[in-house]
Homo-oligomer: A and B are copies of this chain.
Amino acid sequence: MPLMDNLTAQRDEVDYVSGRTRVYGIVGDPIEQVRSPEMISAEFASRGLDALMIPIHVLPADFDGCVAQLKRVQNLDGLVFTIPYKRAAVALADDIGADACAIGAINALARRPHGRWAADIFDGMGCVEAFRRRGYAIAGQRLMLIGAGGAGAAIAVAMAHEHPRSMRLHDVDPKRATDVAAIVRSADSSIDVSVGEPLTTGIDILLNASPVGMLTDPRTPVDVSAMAADVIVFDAIVKPEPTKLLALAQARGCRTVSGREMMRGQISKIVDFFSGSGSPVE
């Protein structure tokens, strides 16, 4: 086990977990890069809730069997899903929020009364909230979004609700980009939606929601050597921090928004959802 610099050393008992603690988990593969355990646990603590979020590393072959049984743990009240499980997790829910239903992906699942489980996706609203906190407008802007998986689709729909002028979508799987384009058009038919290779010119905002650049992956999702300094660049990846994409953008003088800011933007909304408030399907 790795070493930890911990102020709780030498105490007989810790104060952050007991037999009464309600347990939440974040399920993903890989898991080491996630930020939800420390950030959502801090939000629980700041609200005076005796609850904890732990990392749960589940391999793809084990996902269906393992998560079905995690729901049987009586003091486990909710799960967050990250790469690569946001789509597969839909099958675990009894009630699903409208955007999550359109996207076909969730990132939070909460225990409700009478054995039901409610689900929704918060990545998109976290991203929009991060732009709002920075004071960066989305309305009327030209967006380039790379990655149309669960997180990418959620970001596309949440951005669409903010009325950008145009949105271009790219994914290594063209069908995923085309599917998300159709969802964006349904959300706001006035947006000029297109699908194709990533562009770094003729855009105002570049958004990465692909896994390219995560952890030790040395790549960037697009070549930014011709990108203008007035483009705002967002990366949904939370580790490394900054990602290579954001570091290169900053070196070019661009304003950036980080995956950690998106996380902060959705933390309180997820904890509201876990607490039974703020759910569109309540």
Contact = CB atoms under 8 A, between A and B. Distances in A.
B50 A2 contact: yes
A25 to B, nearest CB: 9
Nearest to A264: B12
A166 B6 CA distance: 47
A14 B16 contact: yes
Given A19-B31, A49-B1, A57 B74 contact: yes
A52 B54 contact: yes
B72 A9 contact: no
Contacts of A73: 56-58, 66
A15 B8 CA distance: 10
A22 B57 CA distance: 10
A123 B59 CA distance: 34
Contacts of A32: 19-20
Contacts of A53: 17
A114 interface: no
A23 B66 contact: no
Contact of A49 (B3, B11, B37, B51): B3
Nearest to A70: B69
Interface stretch (A40-48, A152-160, A170-178): A40-48
A92 to B, nearest CB: 14
A34 B19 contact: yes
Contacts of A9: 45-46, 48
Nearest to A10: B46
A55 interface: yes
A2 B20 contact: yes
A135 interface: no
A61 to B, nearest CB: 9
A18 B54 CA distance: 7
9 contacts: A1-B44, A16-B41, A18-B35, A18-B55, A56-B73, A62-B72, A66-B72, A66-B73, A69-B69
Contacts of A33: 19
A59 B72 contact: yes
A31 B75 contact: yes
Contacts of A59: 72, 74
